[in-house]
Amino acid sequence: MEKQSVLQPFLGTVLIYLAFLYLYLFDYLTGMDFSLLLLLLFITNIVFIFVSFRLRSIRRAFIYSALLTFILFNYEFATFILDETESIVLFYQPSEEVIPHTGIYVLGIGSAELGKGATLHFYNEADRFENITATNIIRYRSKYDWIFELLNLKENPVEDMRDSVQHYLSDTNSEINEFLNREDLDGNSAGLALVLSSILHEKKETNNLGIGVTGAINKRGKVREIGHVKEKIQTAARDRHTHVIVPHGNLKEALKVKKDLNLGIEIEGVRSVEEALGVIERWNFPSNYSEATAH
């Protein structure tokens, strides 16, 4: 009976917190509301500690509940700061040939978080790809990622790209190193393009095409999915790349974008660096492959 009386306030606090979190994530509460309700829950537990001063077991239960609420309040305190982000703007960023004369272009996009009342003006409105309204789920995910990176439970995407590219290539040239050391990098989707650029440059293989490339890689050269495929295909089209390489996991989405926007772009999905090199060779020397097929 005593054990049950200890658990009830504790479990009640957990359930109330989960209810608050649900209401916050689905935009029924602001971050400020969420923080204040947790503070109120903490104060309520403190009050019950004094009210139940002579009932030792119940008092101990509310002490545990108060400690839990204090931890949760500190963990969620930053949510009210996240309220400032009202929208996220995705915009055009020119593709970049990191190593000259390789014909491999990194497909990237720009993004900016806008606070309440803020606007982002473009000289050419076509540069604006999308305005994403910031929901509490989007805001909370950014906090979640930041905490996990801080605790080394999740690797920073830029660091992940840097480690994977350098490990796969063993020795990177100055252009690759300069790109990887930029302060404005965000994400890991340039990994495949950097590796392909370096390999084509070192082997002095011929590539007469301007190929837009996007895709993250791991240390073994396996290609991983990336985000914002639609915007990157739009960037490729705008920069007049007739050929694009994407991760195989993003191929279906990329082909849908091509169809929806009626783009004259050839798109291939790849699972590895080796497969991407094969695609580049086939695109450059299609007659060799047509003869092999005929035989």
CA atoms within a 13 Å half-sphere pointing along the CA-CB vector of 10:
14
Q: Which of 179, 191, 161, 212 is nearest to 273 (CA)?
A: 191
| pLDDT confidence of residue 222 | 95
One domain for residues 193 and 53: no
| pLDDT confidence of residue 1 | 41
| pLDDT confidence of residue 59 | 79
| pLDDT confidence of residue 221 | 92
Rounded to a whole number of angstroms, the distance between the first and last alpha carbons of the chain is: 83
Q: Which domain holds residue 99?
A: 93-111+155-294
Question: How many degrees, rounded to 5, is the angle at CA 217 between CA 215 and CA 223?
Answer: 65
Question: Does a structural domain hold residue 61?
Answer: yes
- Encode the chain (295 residues) as per-residue pLDDT tens digits: 444 556 777 888 999 999 999 999 999 999 999 999 999 999 998 988 888 766 666 778 888 889 999 999 998 888 888 888 888 899 999 999 999 999 999 999 998 888 888 888 888 888 898 888 889 998 888 877 766 666 665 678 888 999 999 999 987 788 998 998 888 888 899 999 999 999 998 886 678 899 999 999 999 999 999 999 999 999 999 999 999 999 999 999 999 999 999 999 999 999 999 999 999 999 988 877 655 554 4
Phi, psi of 215 (to 5 degrees): 155, 140
CATH number at residue 289: 3.30.230.10
Question: Does a structural domain hold residue 116?
Answer: no
One domain for residues 162 and 60: no
One domain for residues 220 and 280: yes
Bridge partners of 132, per DSSP, are 88
One domain for residues 44 and 159: no
| pLDDT confidence of residue 295 | 44
One domain for residues 234 and 256: yes
One domain for residues 103 and 55: no
| pLDDT confidence of residue 150 | 62
Q: How many domains does the chain have?
A: 2
